[in-house]
């Protein structure tokens, strides 16, 4: 039999499903919004990277120009160096100073004012600078160190390019090591030109990669925590090094937008309405089904439901080779009650009869009202005649007790006919036929209130042994 769930359970299931669908729509909308936000962030970050790479690399390559001039002239004089350095600084306002070391000792500096202490500095004796210088010499390429705090104040990058002795016919940067060209580049000047910090932007930006180490370097600009917030990332590349840019919206990725809020509010309201409507419809359907399958006076199953339950019981008995019984019960002397005391008294008696039978039967047995004063019983798991005798005796005993109606004692009689499966038949029609006949005989036998159906004489020999009598 199909299970009927309570209306509130069905409504709750519908509510959960509806809210789940709403949540999936909201998640999809949020992901779409986040993807759009990431695309916009990446566009912004690409523009920052382009400005930063252009500004920084154009300044870095100026040291390459100095190294070429030194190589071409096989050395340089102080006056010539000052002239070249002055031109270099005039071409880029990001340069703080220019230095040239012949060998490992700085002996050229521009401007000299404020940088006198650097003249004569031996890189090999300065551990903080020697590592970057050695890397430039070993690789033969420009190396960017920093940012570092300057004694003169401010923060800067130090760009170092190795210079090798070579003729025009030789391979560039070949021959013996000549020295190091260094340019100090002001970090704030470069970043300001690149548009950082951008106070009017809705994005927060951070940069890591100190000493050109990219993702493996320390964070030197912005908040380090930004790299833990799933930001968009881009690399800023320059000779022999890189930085990594990170950007994310200042409010984070999961900002609740109007569309998501509208979806959630609308979804919740619609889900509640849908769940309420489903509950009411299901409750009404159960009520209609209950009315269709039950007697409205006694609240017992009617003939339609009883026949369905009998069919199920017979199918089960056939599978397990068991026995069930059908009992047809008819009230005697019920018409005088209606005629004498009215239909209200008759209805009262019928309700009391239903309650008494229901309270007497076993839990697994079923009673239904199938006519005006006729009731039908389904007795399952019948193993012997004793089962029937006990049940029938209790039912008759209870129904013969007087009924108290407004101070009046009302009495009715009862006749019961019983048929057994499979002795008296294997289908519902045959069993009802035999039970009706047995009830008819019991009604006309003054010595008994119940009777088990008999078999035709020609079947008695083969079937009597299976009858539990």
Give catalytic residue positions: 373
Number of neighbours of residue 224 by Cβ within 10 angstroms: 13
Helix (H, G, I), strand (E, B), or coil: what is residue 318? helix
* 303-320 vs 428-443: helix crossing angle, rounded to 10: 110
129: nearest Cα among 112, 110, 111, 151: 151
By DSSP bridging, strand 203-208 and strand 241-249 are: antiparallel
Calpha distance 285→346 (Å, rounded): 31
Tell me the two tokens of residue 233. Answer: 């990332």
Residue that the structure tokens 């399958």 belong to: 293
Number of neighbours of residue 242 by Cβ within 10 angstroms: 18
Q: How far is CA 125 from CA 35, 98, 141, 450, in A?
A: 53, 20, 22, 123
| Cβ(117)–Cβ(88) below 8 Å | no
Calpha distance 88→65 (Å, rounded): 9
Peptide bond into 186 cis (omega under 30): no
Tell me the two tokens of residue 206. Answer: 């951070």
Tell me the two tokens of residue 299. Answer: 């609240």
| Cβ(332)–Cβ(413) below 8 Å | yes
76: nearest Cα among 219, 5, 221, 181: 181
Calpha distance 375→390 (Å, rounded): 18
213: nearest Cα among 161, 150, 147: 147
Calpha distance 62→53 (Å, rounded): 14
Calpha distance 145→130 (Å, rounded): 11
Q: How far is CA 34 from CA 28, 46, 258, in A?
A: 10, 18, 13
């Amino acid at each position: 039999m199909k299970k009927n769930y309570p209306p509130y359970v069905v409504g709750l299931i519908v509510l959960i499903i509806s809210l789940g669908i709403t949540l999936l729509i909201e998640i999809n909308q949020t992901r779409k919004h986040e993807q759009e936000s990431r695309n916009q962030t990446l566009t912004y970050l690409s523009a920052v990277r382009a400005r930063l790479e252009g500004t920084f690399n154009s300044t870095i390559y100026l040291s390459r120009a100095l190294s070429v001039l030194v190589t071409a002239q096989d050395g340089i004089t102080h006056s010539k160096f000052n002239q070249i350095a002055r031109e270099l600084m005039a071409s880029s306002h990001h340069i703080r100073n220019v230095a040239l070391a012949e060998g490992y000792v700085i002996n050229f500096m521009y401007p000299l004012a404020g940088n006198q202490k650097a003249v004569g500095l031996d890189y090999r004796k300065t551990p903080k600078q020697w590592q970057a210088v050695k890397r430039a010499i070993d690789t033969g390429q420009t190396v960017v160190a920093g940012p570092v705090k300057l004694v003169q104040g401010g923060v800067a990058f130090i760009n170092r390019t190795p210079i090798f002795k070579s003729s025009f016919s030789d391979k560039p940067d070949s021959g013996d090591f000549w020295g190091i060209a260094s340019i100090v580049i002001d970090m704030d000047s470069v970043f300001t030109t690149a548009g950082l910090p951008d106070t009017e932007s809705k994005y927060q930006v951070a940069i890591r990669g100190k000493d050109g180490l990219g993702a493996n370097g320390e964070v030197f600009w912005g908040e380090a925590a930004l790299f833990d917030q799933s930001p968009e990332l881009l690399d800023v590349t320059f000779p022999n090094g890189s930085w990594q840019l990170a950007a994310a919206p200042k409010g984070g990725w999961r900002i609740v937008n109007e569309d998501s809020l509208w979806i959630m509010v609308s979804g919740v309201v619609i889900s509640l309405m849908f769940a309420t409507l489903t509950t009411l419809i299901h409750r009404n359907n159960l009520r209609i089904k209950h009315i269709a399958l039950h007697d409205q006076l006694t609240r017992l199953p009617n003939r339609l439901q009883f026949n369905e339950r009998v069919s199920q019981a017979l199918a089960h008995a056939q599978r397990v080779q068991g026995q069930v019984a059908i009992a047809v019960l008819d009230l005697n002397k019920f018409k005088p009650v209606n005629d004498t005391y009215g239909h209200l008294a008759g209805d009262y008696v019928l309700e009391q009869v239903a309650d008494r039978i229901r309270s007497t039967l076993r839990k697994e047995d079923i009673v239904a009202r199938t006519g005006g004063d006729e009731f039908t019983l389904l007795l399952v798991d019948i193993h012997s005649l004793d089962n029937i005798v006990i049940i029938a005796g209790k039912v008759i005993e209870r129904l013969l007790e007087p009924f108290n109606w407004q101070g009046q004692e009302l009495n009715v009689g009862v006749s019961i006919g019983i048929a057994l499966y499979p002795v008296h038949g294997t289908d519902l029609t045959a069993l009802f036929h035999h039970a009706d006949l047995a009830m008819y005989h019991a009604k006309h036998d003054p010595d008994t209130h119940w009777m088990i159906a008999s078999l035709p004489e020609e079947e008695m020999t083969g079937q009597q042994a299976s009858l539990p009598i």
